[in-house]
């Protein structure tokens, strides 16, 4: 009678078979298309992140403007100026982060 392998041994042998197939797989057009789509998906995600930064920065700036224009308390006016400054900082940070990430994506797509 043949002794059956344990579950752990089966998993290890399946993993090694998959790794071997991946290493020996030819690079065909399907792989190139998949890689290009991954780059496009990453670039679109980066643009969505930039839009989130823009939305947040504009909302903070708008809230700050409301505080400065319509509040009588000096404390609230100071908070308004702080919110407008914070909104500008968020816009600046989002733009810098977007540009750095796009440069990284472009460099990676040229190399790969």
Predicted pLDDT of residue 101: 96
Question: Cβ contacts of residue 88 below 8 Å, gap of 6+?
Answer: 57, 61
Q: Does residue 12 form part of some domain?
A: no
Q: How far is CA 68 from the centre of its chain?
A: 34
Q: Does residue 87 form part of some domain?
A: yes
Q: Does residue 70 form part of some domain?
A: yes
Predicted pLDDT of residue 32: 76
Q: Does residue 14 form part of some domain?
A: no
Domain that holds residue 33: 25-111
Predicted pLDDT of residue 112: 66
Count of structural domains, the chain: 1
Q: Does residue 18 form part of some domain?
A: no
Q: Does residue 9 form part of some domain?
A: no
Cβ proximity of 105 and 49 under 8 Å: no
pLDDT digits (tens, 9 = 90+) for 65-77: 999 999 999 999 9
Q: Does residue 81 form part of some domain?
A: yes
Q: Does residue 67 form part of some domain?
A: yes
Predicted pLDDT of residue 68: 96
Q: What are the pLDDT tens digits along the chain (112 aa)?
A: 455 555 656 556 666 666 665 555 555 667 778 888 889 999 999 999 999 999 999 999 999 999 999 999 999 999 999 999 999 999 999 999 999 999 999 998 887 6
3-state secondary structure of 41: helix
For residue 96, the surrounding DSSP H or E stretch is helix 74-111
């Amino acid at each position: 009678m043949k002794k059956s392998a344990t579950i752990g041994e089966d998993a290890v042998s399946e993993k090694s078979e998959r790794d071997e197939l991946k290493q020996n797989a030819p690079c065909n057009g399907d792989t190139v298309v998949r890689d290009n789509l991954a780059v496009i998906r990453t670039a679109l995600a980066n643009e969505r992140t930039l839009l989130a930064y823009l939305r947040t920065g504009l909302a903070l700036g708008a809230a700050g403007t409301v505080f400065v224009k319509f509040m009588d308390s000096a404390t609230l006016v100071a908070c308004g100026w702080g919110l407008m400054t914070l909104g500008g900082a968020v816009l600046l940070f989002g733009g810098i982060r977007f540009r750095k990430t796009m440069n990284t994506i472009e460099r990676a797509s040229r190399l790969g």
